[in-house]
Amino acid sequence: MIYQSTYQAARIIAPKVEAIFAAHLAAAKDSGEDDLAPLPTAGIVEAIIDATFWASLRKEEGHSPKISLAFLPPQQAGNPLLFKSRLPLNPGTLTKIAPGVERAGVHLGVWEEEGALYIWGTTVSIPNFCFVLDVSEPALLVIKHRRIYGFGKFTNIAVLKGDQVKMVDGQSTSVPDCPPILLSLLDLTAPSYWNDSANVLIQLAVSMRAHGRGGTLLVVPNETNNWLQSIIKPIQYYVQPSFTGLSKLLQQDRKEASQIFWQTALKREVEHLAGLTAVDGATVISNQYELLAFGAKIGRAKGKDNVDEISFSEPITGGDGVVIHPSKVGGTRHLSAAQFVHDQRDATALVASQDGHFTIYTWSEHQGRVQAHRIDTLLL
């Protein structure tokens, strides 16, 4: 397939993307997996990225396109919506059709025949390791694939923003004390369900980031109240008794957890808790997902030192850990979260910034300091 792209980042990243998908598909075949997507070659990847990037910069009736494209033939799409006539894959077509397909879970189906790419319709069902390209805002593209067992968020491969290219690096999890949520986001854990602890945290993180106001979520042990030592009294919104809406859902049998009605209820409870993080102050939940407080002000625990250094990393190529002062990660919200984890070492802090950055703070016994993992590249 010969295609002359004008978006330079597409040309640079395409061979790397093909190699990643080729490795995933080969490993899946060797392990006996079926329902596997076709391999997106470098030429196909480049052409899809190029057309989508230029479409993302256009507007239709004042709105920028928010679309998701999936590379697969209609035969692998379950129950596809098929157009009578094929549509050419170009910025004009994508801009025009975008308003009708911007809802979550709807993909424009793209396929190739005789050297030309075309849009054949839409689908909400795609095979394992299917190449997906999402546009969430102008000039921001995310390459991802469906997880092999279909649960939870798609796994991100790369993020392109203008001339910036970030390739996700799965090897970044080889360091000790890597948080389970990061392993799950990189699809490096065993098959898990929607009510798996790490997957629920991922859903909370996505929802926190989506409200755009910034926020802090503290996850503390259910067995003790030590976390109160790091909270300024009085707590404006102390919840008594603790709210157990999400907790009770997660205790249900896993067979029930696969049902659509259960997943809908889970999403509602996740949105409920994540929405509270928009209130000034931190939201506190137990590791059993019981809501304990929100709007809580974090303070340094009595007898504890100020946190003056943390290990900061990002799971992308070139994002290896560096030791820095926590104020260099972000503002007061980040500094207070780092202090909280420094004092309460069995806790986890999730911090969403108004600019879209998202950071997880945990304690590393191996390093003897707080570690911060910036994961917004994986949440898009």
CB 69 within 8 A of CB 132: yes
How far is Cα 23 from Cα 79, in angstroms, rounded to an integer? Answer: 28
- Please count the other Cβ atoms lying within 10 Å of the Cβ belonging to residue 116: 13
Please tell me the predicted confidence (pLDDT) of residue 148: 58
pLDDT score, position 264: 83
pLDDT of residue 103: 86
**Torsion, Cα of 87, 143, 204, 216 (10° steps):** -120
Please state the pTM of the whole predicted model: 0.79
pLDDT digits (tens, 9 = 90+) for 309-361: 999 988 877 777 789 998 898 889 999 999 999 999 999 999 999 888 899 99
Beta carbons within 8 Å of 303's beta carbon, 6+ residues apart: none
**Residue 265: per-residue pLDDT:** 85
pLDDT tops 90 at residue 186:
no
Rounded CA separation 269/267 (Å): 5
180-378 is classed CATH 3.40.1700.10 = yes
Backbone angles phi, psi at 239, to 5 degrees: -100, 115
Chain region(s) in the chain for CATH 3.40.1700.10: 180-378
Q: What are φ and ψ of residue 357, in 5° steps?
A: -70, 150
Sheet holding 131-137, edge to edge: 81-88, 116-123, 107-113, 68-71, 131-137, 140-145, 155-161, 164-167
SS (H, E, C) 195-223: CCHHHHHHHHHHHHHHCCCCEEEEEECCC
Of the two residues 167 and 186, the one the predictor is more confident about is 167
Give every strand in the sheet of 358-364, ordered side by side: 237-243, 291-296, 282-286, 215-220, 348-352, 358-364, 369-374, 310-313, 322-324
- 173-195: average pLDDT: 62
**Nearest Cα residue to 131 out of 55, 30, 66, 46:** 46
Confidence of residue 274 (pLDDT cuts 50, 70, 90): very high
| Residue 174 scores a pLDDT above 80 | no
Least confident of 124-128, 147-151, 179-183: 147-151
89-94 average pLDDT score = 94
pLDDT of 314 reads 81
Whether 297 has a pLDDT exceeding 70, the answer reads: yes
Provide the mean pLDDT of the chain. 87
Taken in order 144, 20, 201, 231, the sign of the CA dihedral is negative
